[in-house]
């Protein structure tokens, strides 16, 4: 083993706003003091209850992915496990998510975009 994952960093235009969106979905603390990162206008973090840290960095002229269009690909996405897919969707939409693929035929996952356009999936576990 060479390294451990410290965090996952998402580019966006509004770091704190996107951190708050993911806090609404995952819980945790936005911009908690942490010796590994300096906080500021161009950077925000979310320390989740599971220990995962998401970081958000401001990118000038940020262009969101267009799922599933490959001319501006998603680059990565998060799979978020949920017990009740319908309830989780309701909460995600109320927090600012948009539906990209609502699924059909009782599928166990659905695709959404966060407010900065990054795709993520809610997956029933």
Q: What is the CATH number of domain 8-58?
A: 3.30.720
Is residue 37 predicted with pLDDT exceeding 80?
no
pLDDT at 57: 92
CATH 3.10.180.10, the chain: domain bounds: 78-124
Is residue 3 predicted with pLDDT exceeding 90?
no
CATH 3.30.720, the chain: domain bounds: 8-58
Per residue in 98-116, pLDDT (tens digit) is: 999 988 778 888 999 999 9
Dihedral, 100, 104, 108, 109 alpha carbons, nearest 10: -10
Segment 23-49 shows an average pLDDT of 91
- Name the packing angle between helices 85-95 and 15-26 (round to 10°): 160
Is residue 125 predicted with pLDDT exceeding 90?
no
Fold of 78-124: 2,3-Dihydroxybiphenyl 1,2-Dioxygenase; domain 1 (3.10.180)
pLDDT higher for 71 or 77?
71
């Amino acid at each position: 083993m060479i390294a451990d994952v410290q965090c996952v960093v998402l580019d966006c235009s509004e770091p704190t706003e996107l951190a708050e969106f993911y806090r609404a979905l995952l819980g945790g603390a936005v911009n908690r003091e942490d010796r590994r990162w300096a906080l500021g206008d161009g950077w925000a973090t979310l320390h989740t209850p599971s220990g995962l840290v998401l970081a958000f960095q401001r990118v000038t002229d940020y262009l969101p992915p267009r799922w599933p269009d490959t001319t501006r690909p998603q680059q990565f996405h998060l799979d978020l496990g949920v017990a009740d897919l319908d309830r989780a969707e309701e909460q995600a939409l109320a927090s600012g998510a948009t539906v990209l693929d609502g699924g059909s035929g009782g599928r166990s996952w659905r695709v959404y975009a966060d407010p900065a356009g990054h795709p993520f999936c809610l997956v029933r576990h």
